[in-house]
Each structure stands twice: as structure tokens, then as C-alpha cells.
Amino acid sequence: MKFMMMMHAPRSGWKDAGIGTWPPADIKAHIQFMMGLNKELKGAGEFVDAQGLAGPEDARIVRANKSGGPEVTDGPYPEAKEFLAGFWIIDVENKERAYAIAARASAAPGKGGVPMSIPIEIREVMSGPPLTE
């Protein structure tokens, strides 16, 4: 089963309390943790893709205007409290395994090495029609 794990970051304070404001050793530990997690998933044959997204400042929402051309507005919805910082796609045996991996990612070390408890949204990736026998 394939799942997308979406890592959300709080919109408020992400500039003033973001990773760049942590002590250097904590930043290093966080980066190493994330790299290690990806390596572990690859080693387990469960890794499909992982991407970090560029900052939300340059994010835009596009809708087609009447003539079908792009109508571009700032986004994502400014009232949203969180933004999507990055995602993984994993291919695992069952939902429980996906939850376990998400928990690992959620506990990435933050400032002072304290587990961050990042909210990770889990969505199953839809697949082809099932075999009916």
C-alpha cells in the first residue's frame, strides 16, 4: 500500500522560531535525523519519494479565469495555520506500518534535541482497480 506522509509546519512563528534560530548542533542533529530516516526507509525497501518544498512565501494559488488563462493569487489560503513543508511517499505492508513511520518522522529532534511532534498527515495513495475473484 502506498501512502503519502505530509509534514506540516506551523505558519505562525516559522520565521522567528524556525530551524535557523536553533543552536547549530540542534540543526545538525535534525538534518542528520531526516537523512537517516530516508536511508532507513530505502534500506527497508519502503521508500518511494521524498521532497522538501520551498518556503510558503512564494506559494501561489492558480485558478483558470474565464478565458482559461491563469489567474494567480497569493496562497495557500492566508488564514491557514499550517503549511505543507514536505512529503514522503512510502510503499508499506499496511496502515499500521505507515503510522509507525509517521510517528518516527514526527518525533524528529528539534530545538534542544526535544522531539518536535510534527503533525504528519497520512493519506493513502489510490491505486488501480482491485482483483475481484
Q: How far is the CB of 43 from another protein (least distance, A)?
A: 14
Residue 24 as a binder of another protein (CB under 8 A): the answer is yes
Q: Which of 1, 21, 72, 103 binds another protein (CB under 8 A)?
A: 21
Region near another protein per CB under 8 A, out of 51-59, 65-73, 77-85, 117-125? 51-59
Q: How many CB atoms lie within 10 A of CB 75?
A: 14
Q: Beta partners for 47?
A: 90
Amino acid at 39: K
Please state, in angstroms and as integers, the Cα–Cα distance from residue 111 to each residue in 20, 29, 105, 124, following that order.
Answer: 10, 10, 15, 31
HSE (CB half, 13 Å, CA atoms) of 8?
A: 12
Q: How far is the CB of 28 from another protein (least distance, A)?
A: 8
Q: Which of 12, 43, 45, 58 binds another protein (CB under 8 A)?
A: 58
Residue 90 near residue 96, CB atoms below 8 Å: no
Q: Which residues make up the interface to another protein (CB under 8 A)?
A: 15, 18-24, 26-28, 31-32, 35, 52, 54-55, 57-58
